[in-house]
Structure formats: structure tokens, C-alpha cells
Amino acid sequence: EVQLVQSGAEVKKPGASLKISCKGSGYSFTSYWIGWVRQRPGKGLEWMGVIYPGDSDTRYSPSFQGQVTMSADKSTSTAYLQWSSLKASDTAMYYCARRASYGPRGFFDYWGQGALVTVSS
Amino acid sequence: QSVLTQPPSVSAAPGQKVTISCSGSSSTIGNNYVSWYQQLPGTAPKLLIYDNNERPSRIPDRFSASKSGTSATLAITGLQTGDEADYYCETWDSSLSALVFGGGTKLTVL
């Protein structure tokens, strides 16, 4: 069974750093892209970027380029999303999701349960 | 403001049919594949439709979709109260070289 299990909720102060995780199981982790999607409270889905764990090829949405860093560890089948300096506007639910291909044809077929990040002083 | 336009909300009675539109452009829907996702309250999104009109095996055939020109449509027949959710379309934007989601549509089953 394909599963993506994300790390738990986080509460951080503005300016703090943070790294959240997404562990894949039940499939070949290095053969699929992992995407990250932000959902601010009461708002819609926003695509942040994708990473291909097989070779760490990473593509960022123009809106998130330079704001976050995506990485992956093949040895533990885990993808990461990190911030170096959080802002209150980063408060959101963050989802990871699996994607077979990146480009004009593709879709997110399995999703993690989400990780709630709250940034507040 | 998303490059894919969805109505903020739609509603219909149990047992009825509802359609949700997703309007784009030649650089988005017009030349790329469309996917649809369902997000039940308090849960993660779930894939409903891929490649414009294909359903994963676990999705009932009450859910269908089509694409024409620069617009796509999700249809749900035999509405159930459990279908109350937010629905999102998604595609590739060739001008941005990026994935894009629609703004989402909240379905209310009256």
C-alpha cells in the first residue's frame, strides 16, 4: 500500500527555521516525484514545487523560489521541506504528494495527511 | 488569483447532478491534461480524475469529467451528502512552466 506519512504539527516564532518531512512507503521512492502543496487557512491549494528523489532534481514554483528548500534522502525514503526564516504568512497546512511525471502530463495520485505549521510570536 | 477560474460554490439536492467548471487558456487547459481533486472537510485532497477524463479504480463512476477547448468540467451524478467537499482542477501552465491549481469550488448538497 502506497503511503506518505508527514511529520507532526509545528508552532514556531517568526524568524525561526523549520524542516518538515514526508516519508514514502509501499513503492519505489526514487521513481516518483514528490510535490509540496500549501493551503493557507480557509484558502485553496498552491503548488510549491517538486523534487525527484532519484537524482534530487528540484523544480520550484516561481512564487516559492528562494522562499523554501526541498530535499530528499533516498536512504530513508523521506522528502523534506525547509525554511530558514519563517514569517507569519507561512502559517498553513503543507501537503506532500506523489507524482509520476512532472510536466504537461501528470497528476498527484497519493497525498500525505498534511502538516500544520503555525508561525506566531 | 489563479490562472484557472472555478466558481466559488455550487449546490444541488441529493440525487441530482452538478457540474463544476474550470476555465483556463491555450497555455493551460487548451494544450495540457487536466486533473481533478476532492478535498473533504479537514482532510487531504484526493485524486478524482486524471488525464482529462480518467478515473482511478477506487473512484465511483458517479464522477466524470470532460475537456473542451480551454475549459474543463467535472460532473457528479446521484449526489450524496458525503460529496460535500471542495473540488480543485489542476493542469500545467506552458507559459510559466509550472503546475497550477484552480481556486477551488465548494459543493453543498442541500
**pLDDT above 90 (res A104):** no
Residues contacting A10, CB < 8 A, separation 6+: A18, A20, A115, A116, A117, A118
Residue from the list A47, A105, A113 with its beta carbon closest to the beta carbon of B98: A47
Q: Which residues pair with A19 in a beta bridge?
A: A82
Helix (H) or strand (E) holding A80, with range, is strand A78-83
| CB of A97 less than 8 A from some CB of B | yes
B50, B94, B104: residue with CB nearest A107 = B50
The SS3 of residue A1 is coil
Position B52 scores a pLDDT of 97
- Write down the mean pLDDT value for chain A: 96
pLDDT, mean of residues B53-78 = 97
| pLDDT(B1) > 80 | no
What mean pLDDT do residues B22-40 have? 97
CB contact under 8 Å between A106 and B92, yes or no, is yes
pLDDT tens digits, A19-77 = 999 999 999 999 999 999 999 999 999 999 999 999 999 999 999 999 999 999 999 99
By C-alpha distance, which of A96, A99, A93, A101 is closest to A111? Answer: A96
**Does position A105 have pLDDT exceeding 90, yes or no?**
no
Say if A33 is an interface residue toward chain B (CB within 8 Å). no
Q: What is the DSSP letter of A8?
A: -
